[in-house]
Amino acid sequence: MTKGRFPLKTTLTALLVAAFVSAAHAQSLPGGFVYLHDIEPSIIQDIRYATSNNFVGRPLAGYGAGECVVKREVGLRLKAVQQEQAAQNLSLKMFDCYRPARASLDMVRWSQNGHETAAERRYNPKIPKTELFRLGYIASRSQHSTGAALDLTLVDLNADNSGKYDPSKTYADCTAPVEARLPEGSVDMGTGYDCTDVKGHTAAPTISPDQRAWRKRLVAAMARQGFVNYAKEWWHFSLPGAGGAAYDFPIQPRRN
């Protein structure tokens, strides 16, 4: 009888150990990196490169989960920004955080694949995608891979943010009025996220006073915590000194 039960017990033990190792592996991050949700769960996350709702039209290499991963110092400073904005019924919304280096190489391959779809052109209506790297809109070596760069916007928590991306629907390009372009559930910053157009430049003169005010609010809030905006992208910020080497570990699900 004991002999008959032993293999089953051994098998169950092995399965439990394997499950524990798998869960631990899903949580493992290099030193200094954290899941933003563990630092400040109230920050909204819409990690677009983990979905098909981005300029490539599919999840990028290395994005195994829609989780914002950052250096711990970056996360703590984002928490401070969030607390300040929450007092005004606003929230940060993350579009991208740490980016595996392989994802940037995936972008390079995409730019060189020799064709552009109508959906892709929504993000770069006036610039051929082969020119995006030369013009500084995309980098083959991104600060995102250091864990110290971020793409984000603001959400008015009192507004109707129920609009969702519908892949079967045809949207206007990213420079169109907010009612016509792809919904992002955020305030109107004048263009959509990842809009490679001069209108997406932070200080673009062609946006409305209200749109300019929202951009200035975001830049000022981030600056109070030491973040610096990239002039060609109103959504992109980095924290000087917090980066260092680039990493290529994949983004895996956070264990609850």
Taking only the tens place, the pLDDT of each residue in 186-201 is 999 999 999 999 999 9
Enter the pTM of the model.
0.88
Mean pLDDT value of segment 25-50: 90
144 is an annotated ligand-binding site residue: yes
Maximum Cα–Cα distance across the chain: 82
Q: Is the pLDDT of residue 17 over 50?
A: no
Q: Is the pLDDT of residue 73 over 70?
A: yes
Higher pLDDT, 22 or 211: 211
What local confidence, expressed as pLDDT, does residue 27 receive? 59
Query: What percent of the chain stands above pLDDT 70?
Result: 89
Checking phi first, is residue 14 left (phi over 0); if not, alpha (psi -120 to 50) or beta? alpha
Q: Residue 77, SS3?
A: helix
173 is an annotated ligand-binding site residue: no
Distances in Å between the alpha carbon of 246 and those of 61, 147, 209?
16, 8, 38
Q: Residue 64, SS3?
A: coil
Distances in Å between the alpha carbon of 254 and those of 29, 59, 107, 154?
10, 18, 25, 24
**Continuous H helices in the chain:** 2-27, 36-39, 72-86, 101-111, 118-121, 209-223
Q: What is the 3-state secondary structure (H, E, C) of 179-219?
A: CCECCCCCCCCCCCCCCCCHHHCCCCCCCCHHHHHHHHHHH
Give the DSSP H or E segment for 155: strand 149-156
Tell me the pLDDT of the chain averaged across its residues: 89
Q: CATH: 3.40.50.1360, 3.40.47.10, 3.40.50.1000, 3.30.1380.10. Which one for 34-238? A: 3.30.1380.10
The answer for residues whose C-beta is within 8 angstroms of residue 194's C-beta and 6 or more apart is 48, 54, 55, 95, 123, 151, 174, 235
Amino acid (1-letter code) at residue 40: E
Q: Which two tokens mark 49? A: 């490169």
What local confidence, expressed as pLDDT, does residue 133 receive? 81
236 is an annotated ligand-binding site residue: yes
CA distance 200 to 194: 8
Residue whose pair of structure tokens reads 């950052």 in the numeric block: 70
What local confidence, expressed as pLDDT, does residue 5 receive? 40
Mean pLDDT value of segment 10-22: 36
The answer for residues whose C-beta is within 8 angstroms of residue 192's C-beta and 6 or more apart is 122, 123, 174, 181, 182, 184
Q: Where are the domains of the chain?
A: 1-30, 34-238
Q: Which residues are catalytic?
A: 233
Q: Which two tokens mark 55? A: 């300029």
Higher pLDDT, 64 or 142: 64
The crossing angle, in degrees rounded to 10, of helices 209-223 and 72-86 is: 130
Q: Is the pLDDT of residue 256 over 90?
A: no
